[in-house]
């Protein structure tokens, strides 16, 4: 450690300067940033909430309109998976199927994607697909134009898995309309947004290529 009075180097931990006798402990108190024992650098402080928010805004600033739409769709699809897909006091012909969930009271029932996945494990693949779309969008911010085009194609494929089909069923099948909960609408719209975002990305990249 260098003495602030004479500027000469002293051994770590000494109380007084070996050359001029200045109080080294007072200097340490006014200079709290010190190396860790053994000469290792001190651990960096964790980022503050404001820094995290700034990093999030910087990341969003790198996204195009299509990427933002697809990202919002991925978030909506994930949230919709955990919200009620079926929520109704009058189950009608769905009573035998929903009775397999083990509920004693079927006068009113609320079933989400997790509940359906307990009956058919493949339902979890829809949740994983929405998460995969979000991961693709994260990496697309650092990808080249050709890589972003490929990722956009995957987004269209992921969004087409169940988005258009779910919304079409909700709009044109009266039985599903009567029992559908908010989660199923959010889930379907989220997947449609993923596909639409991928198409917008492809169109934007195609224009920039010309």
Please write the tens of the pLDDT for every residue from 172-199: 998 888 888 899 999 999 999 999 999 9
What's the Cα-to-Cα distance from 46 to each of 51, 52, 55, 176, rounded to whole Å?
10, 10, 13, 49
CA distance 111 to 118: 11
The domain locations on the chain are 63-209
**Does the domain at residues 63-209 carry the CATH identifier 3.40.50?**
no
Per-residue pLDDT tens digits for 136-179 = 988 887 888 889 999 999 999 999 988 999 999 999 998 888 88
Under a CB-based contact definition with an 8 Å cutoff, are residues 201 and 148 in contact?
yes
Question: Phi/psi of residue 62, each to 5°?
Answer: -85, -10
All residues at 6 or more sequence positions from 26 whose CB lies less than 8 Å from its CB, including other chains: none
pTM: 0.66
For residues 54 and 69, what is the distance between their CA atoms, to the nearest angstrom?
A: 20
Cβ atoms of 160 and 43 closer than 8 Å: no
């Amino acid at each position: 450690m260098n003495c602030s009075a004479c500027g000469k180097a002293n051994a770590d931990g000494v109380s007084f300067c070996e050359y001029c006798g200045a109080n080294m402990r007072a200097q340490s108190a006014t200079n709290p940033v010190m190396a860790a024992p053994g000469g290792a650098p001190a651990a960096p402080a964790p980022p503050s909430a404001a820094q995290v928010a700034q990093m999030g805004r910087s990341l969003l600033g790198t996204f195009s309109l299509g990427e933002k739409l697809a990202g919002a769709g991925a978030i909506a699809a994930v949230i919709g998976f955990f919200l009620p897909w079926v929520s109704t006091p009058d189950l009608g012909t769905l009573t035998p199927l929903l009775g397999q969930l083990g509920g004693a009271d079927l006068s009113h029932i609320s079933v989400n994607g997790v509940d359906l996945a307990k009956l058919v494990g493949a339902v979890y693949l829809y949740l994983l697909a929405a998460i995969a779309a979000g991961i693709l969008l994260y990496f697309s911010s650092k990808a080249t134009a050709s890589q972003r085009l490929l990722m956009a194609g995957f987004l269209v494929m992921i969004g087409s898995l169940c988005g258009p089909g779910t919304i079409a069923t909700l709009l044109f099948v009266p039985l599903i309309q009567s029992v559908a909960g908010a989660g199923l609408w959010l889930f379907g719209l989220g997947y449609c947004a993923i596909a639409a975002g991928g198409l917008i990305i492809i169109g934007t990249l195609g224009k920039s290529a010309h």
